[in-house]
């Protein structure tokens, strides 16, 4: 059965801290791995990774994929209160398989 | 584009009533997905369509749930009769596989928060 596991489930940090969110997977027919950010409403797309070792960056967020070890990490540097959200990892097969998410809370 | 549009945003109903949720995908997208999200179970895929045809409905929890896509710009998810355990946020998402790997990206609507009393 296809499976995506995220850790930690929850994270509480102070502004300015750096955080690393983890995502491991076991799926057949891997196409790509995606990260989404969900605040109080719909998940919004952050990154899609298809190749190992190539870092994707967007401002303070970056992500990398390891297809040999079957995991990805999402880094957020210099966190801000606006980064507080649930971060969802999903693996694309013929559909998206979502993990349960990591809830990040950033306090001033 | 206006993005994926769902209605209503909130629905409160009584147990036993029929509930219909609506979705308009992004124009030109050929895949449409219905999800349910709860604190306990996270984001679950219920059913998805390709070119208006249901492809995988293995996530539909019971016969009380049904979904249709009569044309490329409209889909409904119906629950009849509704039960309190159906209370959740229901999301619709769409994507376009014609874009190659970028077709894996699903764009979500704002969701319908359903409360069944």
Whether chain A has a CB inside 8 Å of the CB on B53: the answer is no
Largest CA distance in chain B: 44
pLDDT at B1: 65
pLDDT at A78: 97
Which of chain B's residues have a Cβ under 8 Å away from the Cβ of A92?
A: 104
Candidates A105, A104, A16; CA nearest to A60 is: A16
Q: Within 13 Å, how many C-alpha atoms sit on residue A34's CB side?
A: 22
A32·B101 Cβ contact <8 A = yes
Beta-strand ranges (E) seen in B4-110 are 5-7, 10-13, 19-24, 31-38, 42-50, 53-56, 65-71, 74-79, 88-95, 107-108
Please, what are the averages of pLDDT over each run of 10 residues along chain B (117 residues)?
A: 91 97 96 94 93 94 94 96 96 86 87 97
**Could you give the C-alpha distances from A2 to A67, A84, A95, B27, B114, in angstroms and in order?**
15, 28, 11, 30, 28
Helices (H) and strands (E) in chain B, counts: 0, 11
Residues in chain A, total: 108
Say if residues A23 and A8 touch (Cβ distance below 8 Å): no
pLDDT at A42: 92
Query: In the numeric block, which tokens belong to residue A105?
Result: 């809370």
How far does B58 lie from chain A, in Å, by closest CA? 12
Selected for mutation to probe chain A from B43, B53, B92 (highest A CB count within 10 Å) is B43
Which of chain B's residues have a Cβ under 8 Å away from the Cβ of A101?
A: 42-43
Please, what are the averages of pLDDT over each run of 10 residues along chain A (108 residues)?
A: 94 97 95 94 92 89 94 97 97 91 96
Q: Give the β-pairing of B112-116 and A102-107.
A: unpaired
Whether chain A has a CB inside 8 Å of the CB on B25: the answer is no
pLDDT at A81: 96
Query: In the numeric block, which tokens belong to residue A3?
Result: 């499976």
For residue B109, what is the DSSP state?
-
pLDDT at B111: 96
């Amino acid at each position: 059965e296809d499976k995506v596991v995220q850790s930690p489930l929850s994270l509480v940090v102070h502004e300015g801290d750096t955080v690393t969110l983890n995502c491991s997977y076991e799926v057949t027919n891997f196409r790509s791995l995606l990260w989404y950010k969900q605040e109080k409403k719909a998940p919004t797309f952050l990154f899609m990774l298809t190749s190992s070792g190539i870092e994707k960056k967007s401002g303070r967020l970056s992500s990398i994929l390891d297809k040999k070890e079957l995991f990805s990490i999402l880094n957020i540097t210099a966190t801000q209160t606006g980064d507080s959200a649930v971060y969802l990892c999903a693996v694309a097969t013929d559909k998206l398989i979502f993990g349960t998410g990591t809830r990040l809370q950033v306090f001033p | 584009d206006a993005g994926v549009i769902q209605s209503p945003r909130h629905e409160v109903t009584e147990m036993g009533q029929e509930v219909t949720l609506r979705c308009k995908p992004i124009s030109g997208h050929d895949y449409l997905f219905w999800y349910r999200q709860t604190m306990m179970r996270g984001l679950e895929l219920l059913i998805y369509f390709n070119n208006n045809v249901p492809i995988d409905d293995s996530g539909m929890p019971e016969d009380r749930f049904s979904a249709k896509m009569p044309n490329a710009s409209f889909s409904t998810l119906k629950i009849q009769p509704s039960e309190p355990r159906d209370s959740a946020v229901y999301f619709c998402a769409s994507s376009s596989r014609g874009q190659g790997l970028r077709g894996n990206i699903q764009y979500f609507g704002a969701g319908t928060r359903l409360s069944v009393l």
